[in-house]
Structure formats: C-alpha cells, structure tokens
C-alpha cells in the first residue's frame, strides 16, 4: 500500500467530532500537498521546512 493510501486510510479513521477546526484545516493542507511533502527527504529538515511554508501561506485563509 502506498504512503498516500495509508495516509488517507488513517484520515478516514479519524472521528470528525474529535477534531478541531484547526485540526481539519491542517489535515486538508496535508491532503492538498501530500505529493509535494512526500517527495521531500527528511534530511536537513526539508519536509518540516515545506510544512512551515505551507502552513504560513495558509495562515490567514479560512
């Protein structure tokens, strides 16, 4: 099973009633950018830096 499929399976197992609006927003950002994030290595914090960039660019959006 691909990482993307595993991630979607995990997301689908979450109870939406247990998630905050912020949790939902972050999960949606991860889903929308999964291919970009997954393609980066963890060396030098590449994934973390990209996550910061994605979160920062979506900070003021609803």
- Token pair recorded at residue 41: 């290595």
Nearest to 3 by CA among 45, 29, 36: 36
Q: Is the pLDDT of residue 60 over 70?
A: no
CB 58 within 8 A of CB 25: yes
Q: How far is CA 13 from the centre of its chain?
A: 15
d(CA 44, CA 50) in angstroms, rounded, equals 11
pLDDT of residue 61: 56
pLDDT digits (tens, 9 = 90+) for 3-44: 899 999 999 999 888 899 999 999 999 999 999 999 998 888
State the Cα angle at 10 between 36 and 26, rounded to 5°: 50
């Amino acid at each position: 099973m691909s990482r993307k499929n595993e991630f979607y399976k995990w997301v689908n197992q979450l109870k939406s009633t247990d998630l905050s609006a912020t949790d939902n927003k972050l999960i949606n950002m991860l889903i929308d950018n999964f291919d970009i994030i997954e393609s980066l290595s963890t060396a030098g914090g590449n994934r973390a830096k990209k996550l910061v960039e994605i979160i920062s660019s979506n900070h003021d959006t609803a």
